[in-house]
């Protein structure tokens, strides 16, 4: 099961562009960026927007990095970018996929679920999607814990049943033979 840890926020600009890290700028785009970079004069609103974008970029990258360091088997972070008035691209949203597989034993499933929960809740400010992923993993973990408890109960009940059957057979054999066996 793949679960996406997704956070996406829009800070309200019309410069929205989505790319991936492997895309390269064309020569025309490079010239446009260089031209916009050479224009040091940005309006106050544009400067404020650049500061907001820089702050958001830092926040998004830290958030996704926290997911990746949480302990679960995670994929690479993918980001949604927005171009600022300065021509630079800023991450405004991100996602890290988490691979969650139930184990071959309930104990493995519990360990896997705990790692997913740790990854989902690793950021200081988990998103709604992060909380939903953690909740799903918690449900799977609880089911595995119930299975462990059921198996333990069956093992105890089985031993008690064996003991009771053994006691019954001992009592029956002593009474049926009519022998007086000293204790």
Q: Domain locations in the chain?
A: 2-149
d(CA 91, CA 8): 10
Is the CB of residue 137 less than 8 Å from the CB of residue 103? no
d(CA 183, CA 79): 79
As a whole-number percent, the residues of the chain with pLDDT over 70 amount to: 64
**The predicted structure's pLDDT at residue 13:** 36
pTM greater than 0.85: no
């Amino acid at each position: 099961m793949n679960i996406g840890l997704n956070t996406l926020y829009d800070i309200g600009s019309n410069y929205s562009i989505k790319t991936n890290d492997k895309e390269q700028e064309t020569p025309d785009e490079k010239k446009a960026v260089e031209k916009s970079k050479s224009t040091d004069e940005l309006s106050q609103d544009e400067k404020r927007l650049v500061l907001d974008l820089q702050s958001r970029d830092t926040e998004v990258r830290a958030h996704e990095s926290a997911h990746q360091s949480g302990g679960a088997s995670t994929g690479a972070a993918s980001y949604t970018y927005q171009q600022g008035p300065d021509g630079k691209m800023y991450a405004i949203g991100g996602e890290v996929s988490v691979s969650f597989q139930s184990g071959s034993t309930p104990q493995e499933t519990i360990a896997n679920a705990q790692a997913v929960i740790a990854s989902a809740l690793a950021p200081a400010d988990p998103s709604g999607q992060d909380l939903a992923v953690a909740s799903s993993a918690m449900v799977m973990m609880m089911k595995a814990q119930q299975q462990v408890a059921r198996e333990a109960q069956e093992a105890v009940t089985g031993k008690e049943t064996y003991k009771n059957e053994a006691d019954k057979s001992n009592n029956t054999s002593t009474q049926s033979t009519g022998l007086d066996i000293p204790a």
